[in-house]
Structure 1
Amino acid sequence: MFGRVWAWSKSHGMLVDALRVAPLFVLCLGMAIPYSSITPHDPGTYLGVAGYLGLSALLLVPLLWRRRRPLVVFAVVALVCFGQWLVGTDPLPANLAVLVALWSVTYLSSFRWALAACAVTEVGVWLALVHWDQVTLSLFFSGSILVVTIWITGLYANTRRRYLESLEERAERAERERDQQARIAAAAERTRIARELHDVVAHNVSVMVVQADGAGFAIDSDPEQARLAVRNISKTGRAALAEMRRLVGVLRQDEAPGTDYLPQPGLAQLEELVRQAGVPAELRIEGPPCELPEGQQLAVYRIVQEALTNALKHGGPGVRGLVELRYGAAELTLRITDDGRGAATPRSADGHGLIGMRERVGMYGGAVSAEPRPGGGFEVLATLPVAERKAA
């Protein structure tokens, strides 16, 4: 219950301050009519009802901002009181605003500023007694007791506030640590699942290879045994596929439903990728195409996608891109360039995009580099070895 009230008061500071100062406003308004009949200490400094209300407003209105600017509010109220003393005006009920401002400084500021505000208020008490020509030790001591009591109350409230803030901070830190531990545990579990997936796939593929070899040897001498081996291959493959889908489904549980069975993009979708990249780009293909494994096709697709995305983010307005895919006798060369800001744009060499490119290319024994071009722009160059070249 107290926590909810505390949170509400923090989010509605101006309203809370207005409610706390409202009794002073009511007191000053209630004293307006009696003030007109009071015999002033010095008739030459009598303000009248209008002056009384104006000076009261000048003292009380700044208190509405005491939570946001406690030191400024205290300084304003103290200066108004000092000006009132210089003019010789008698103290008003609104002069209690200096005590409210003192409490706010003590509650919201450091001990040094709280001590300074207390000293200034003590000087004000002394000046008020001088104005009334009643400078006695007993009266000053009585006024000081009130000031010091308010000051100590503010210090206690300040300590309580800092304690509550520390509790909130510790609760937030504990929540962050709990979330971090949950993410670490999830990552560890996914690593374990990935290892399990590797073991399952490796075992089942090994079984399928052995059965396929047996079927190849028995297909002429024992067709029935060969058919049995083929059926076992099919059964093992289906079991491996089901297990792989189950494990990969756990690994990809944060993705949109239905994405597990979508085919991965390849070279056939490269032209569409370049066309929809968000920047004007051209695709050039050189050399006779060859058939590549799906993994290599996906690596090429992702490298192009990452490079064009970087061109869109960092190239600046009017940037244009060029994607060159060259089929060689022993390797495939991929070159993506843009004419954007290039070297003028801070692109970290250790960015996650380049790391992903290196990992994809490294799986197939290739290499990749990404750097600004001397004449401006940026270039990504990747090479992938072609193990078996077949006409597409």
Structure 2
Amino acid sequence: MMAARSCSGIARLGDLVLPVDTGGGPGTYDESVLRSLWDEPRPALPSPRVWRDWTLVGVFVAGAALEGALQQDLAWRAVSVTVAIALAPLLLWRRSRPLLAIAIAFVVAGLAPLLTQGQPPNVYAMVYMLLLPYSLLRWGSGREMVLGSAVVLAKIGFWLLAGFVGAGQALGEAAVLVTAGAVGAAMRYRARARRRELEKAKLLERERLARDLHDTVAHHVSAMAIRAQAGLAIAETQPEAASEALRLIEAEASRALTEMRAMVRVLRRDEPAELAPNPSITDLEQLAGREGTGPLVDVAIDGNVQGVSPSVGAAIYRLAQESVTNARRHARHATRIEVRVAADERSVRLRVSDDGDSHARAAGSSGYGLVGMAERAGLLGGTCDAGPNPDRGWTVTAVLPRTGTGA
């Protein structure tokens, strides 16, 4: 469903905000476009510098050195190889400082022909320069993208006006650089879309858990009301029984307070809860059996699960249910799904494994369900991991504290 609204030159189409012409003329629209581009923030923090970045620089430096030593017809060998080697380390800052990297690289490369009587550096290893416009549009802010693009165009224009290159060569260079930048912009959009999907999956799981917690708190409050009514009825005739009722009310209130604190931490939207009975660990038996020609589901519960927090019990059931559903949907050639629950004094452990084709499973799943499962476990102070088995099959493992107070 799409909703459009215009006000002060802005239209909202779903989650995309675009400037629109509200009657102020083409100039107003152009200013809105430029302002929105200029104010574009940088994406999420890029990955830190790792060994692959150093390896990349080393490969291009070695390539430039070898080219300088082996290429017989390389003009202005010393200057060309020096420029190629000197600019290669800028790749280390292509994500964290994309504007600085592209400005230094293209200014130095643009002025290099002044030292070689108008002959541009002709070292093939300098193909790494294409990574700089890519990184600029992938990791830069709006201001950085505008200023960096201006530097690139200024370099091409300077070479053309100075006669270092012809019009055709300048146009070809511009087309290649624009293509590299377009790829960076496409990857930027793709990463943003995936991040939104991940956040949506986490939000949905938070809301789902909040509804489960709502049902648990409602149960505790109802129990307190019943105990209070019973205490009032026998307060005059059986004072000791009334005192026992008060102690039970205190215990229920303590548990309800714990659940409410967890609910406040995870609730993100002011929506009414779906009042339905909370599933528990014992309800896992409902997952056992076979659906049609699908794999057989075998459920086994070991240990005392009676004292487990209702929110943890519901989470274990939800995690197992999601894991079984994923296995039935994605585990090709699977014949058996095992659901194992083990409870001790401190925690509850869940293990769901299948014997299907793990390679096809990894390629066919988007991973959003796993994100939601990890989010639910984390909110209750636990962990949830999933991955292929050494031989074949897939395993989901979750560990949650019995009380669920670690959220």
> Rg larger in 1 or in 2?
1
The structure whose residues are more often helix, as a share, is 1
TM-score tier by shorter-chain length is 0.3 to 0.5
**TM-score scaled to structure 2, two decimals?**
0.43
**TM-score scaled to structure 1, two decimals?**
0.44
- Determine which structure has greater relative contact order: mean sequence separation of CA pairs < 8 Å that are 6+ residues apart, divided by chain length: 2
